[in-house]
Structure 1
Amino acid sequence: MASINNHILDNYLAFLETLSPGAKLDIISKLTQSLKSEIKPRENLFDTSFGAWIGSESAEEIAKGIRDSRTFNRQIEGL
């Protein structure tokens, strides 16, 4: 993997050698800004996927609501 990254970097550097000093400074500035924006801490979504149910209903009331909301549309055909 490192050799692939080195190859890509070498290709970019060969391209950058043809640019003017001003363009190179602009690229440095934009790279710096992109790195600063990536430094912010990321939210840990794994920890937020666990938790308790928030509601005032009891377990029996929730189960009854689920059962009552079921619909059956099965039609049995005669042979």
Structure 2
Amino acid sequence: MASITLNNSSLKRYIDLFKNIDLKSKKKIIVGLTESINETNISPSNNLSSLFGAWEDNRDSDEIINDIKSSRVNNRDIEKF
């Protein structure tokens, strides 16, 4: 889920809004915010190391380089709009 970042003036508006809320509701909001903080970035899918890894290939480096170079396409044709 995407996160929303608030600037200081937006945060101040929320704080001003919460000043008029009763104590029991404020506690519920605090508990809910605390739970959302504890749930954030805990799942292994958010682990940065899961996004990368070692290159796995049986070929040696020269073969890989030759494959990359041979697959290049030199197309200088410019398409008109």
TM-score by length of 2: 0.49
Over alpha carbons, which structure has the higher Rg? 1
* Greater RCO (CA < 8 Å, at least 6 residues apart): 1
Identical positions, percent = 27
In 1, Cα distance between equivalents of 2:42 and 2:68? 42
Secondary structure of 1:36's aligned partner: helix
TM-score with structure 1 setting the length: 0.50
SS at 2:34 equivalent: helix
**How has the CA–CA distance of structure 1 residues 52 and 39 changed in structure 2, closer, same or farther, with 3 Å as cutoff?**
closer
Residues 53/26 of structure 1: CA separation in 2 closer, same or farther (3 Å cut): same
Deviation at 1:55, TM superposition (A): 0.2
Structure that is richer in helix per residue: 1
Unaligned runs of 5+ in 2: 1-7
Q: What stretches of structure 1 of length at least 5 have no aligned partner?
A: none
Aligned-residue CA RMSD (Å): 3.5
